Amino acid sequence: MSATLHTDALTPSDLFRADEVETSRLCLRMFRPEDLDAMCEITRDPEVMRYIGHGHPLKREETRQNLARIVAAFGRRGFGRWALELKETGELAGYCGLSLGNEEVGVELAYMLARGAWGRGLALEAGRASLRYGFERLDLSSIAGLTFQDNRRSRRVLERLGMSFVRAAHFYGFDCVHYAVARADWRDDGSLYRVKSER
């Protein structure tokens, strides 16, 4: 089956070109239609999906719709979740970036990595770059992180990024833990970070 995000059905503002960010091992870039196959491989893995939504692997059509939503959100807000491309191989490792799903929580850091990319510090690397972009380029005063209570890997990522536990809460119909970091408390760690602006 051919990979398509039906970009021809999107409005011109949806096709807005996002900034890209380069880190030591990653390129954070807008999703492209040809990412669909690789993204489907990631989202069909039950281990990856365990703490996402209802915890089920996704069908191809669900993943296609999610990617179309991610691309459209960039058009509406000017920021969103980037595709994570490994600089060394060009492979898609997952996504990371900033999303806005809940007014009470505000802008949130979101990430998902292929199982084979876990344990290498890539979520931290992409998360640091996303926070830096949010504070420096978007001038956000605070960025949140929401995860399921027992998603220990994700909680560790949020804590290592310098986020503090705010409270346990019920969001999007699930019991979650809410973390956040304020710009005043955030420190750039000096690692490679280059923004390629398309605007």
Ligand X SMILES: CC(C)(COP(=O)(O)OP(=O)(O)OC[C@H]1O[C@@H](n2cnc3c(N)ncnc32)[C@H](O)[C@@H]1OP(=O)(O)O)[C@@H](O)C(=O)NCCC(=O)NCCS
What are the start-end ranges of the E strands in the chain? 20-22, 26-29, 81-86, 92-100, 107-113, 142-148, 164-171, 174-182, 194-196
Q: Pick between residue 14 and residue 25 the one whose CB is nearest to ligand X.
A: 25
Q: How far apart are CA 190 and CA 106, in angstroms?
A: 26
- Which residue, 150 or 198, has its beta carbon nearer to ligand X? 150
Segment near ligand X (CB under 6 A); pick from 32-40, 115-123, 163-171, 181-189: 115-123
Closest to ligand X by CB, 16 or 146: 146
Q: Helix, strand or coil for residue 152?
A: helix
CB of 34 to ligand X, least distance (A): 21
Distance CA 74, CA 102 (A): 16
58 DSSP 8-state letter: P
Say whether residue 111 binds ligand X (CB under 6 A). Answer: yes
Which CB atom, from 48 or from 68, has the smaller least distance to ligand X?
48
CA distance 25 to 47: 24
- Write each residue from 126 to 165 as x if it is in contact with ligand X (CB under 6 A), else as -, in one continuous string: ---------------------x---x-xx-xx--------
- Report the distance separating Cα 45 and Cα 41, nearest Å: 7
CB of 110 to ligand X, least distance (A): 7
Query: Does 48 help bind ligand X (rule: CB under 6 A)?
Result: yes
Q: Residue 39 or 113: which CB sits closer to ligand X?
A: 113
Assess 124 for contact with ligand X (CB under 6 A).
yes
Sign of CA dihedral 26, 154, 128, 67: positive
Q: Which residues contact 18 (CB under 8 A, 6 or more apart)?
A: 29, 30, 74, 78, 79, 80, 82, 198
**Minimum distance of ligand X from residue 15's CB (angstroms):** 27
**Contact status: 56 vs ligand X (CB under 6 A):** no
**Which has the closest alpha carbon to 62: 73, 53, 51, 75?**
53
Q: Which of 58, 68, 112, 144 binds ligand X (CB under 6 A)?
A: 112
Kindly list the residues in this chain that would bind ligand X in the complex (CB under 6 A): 48, 51-52, 111-113, 118-124, 147, 151, 153-154, 156-157
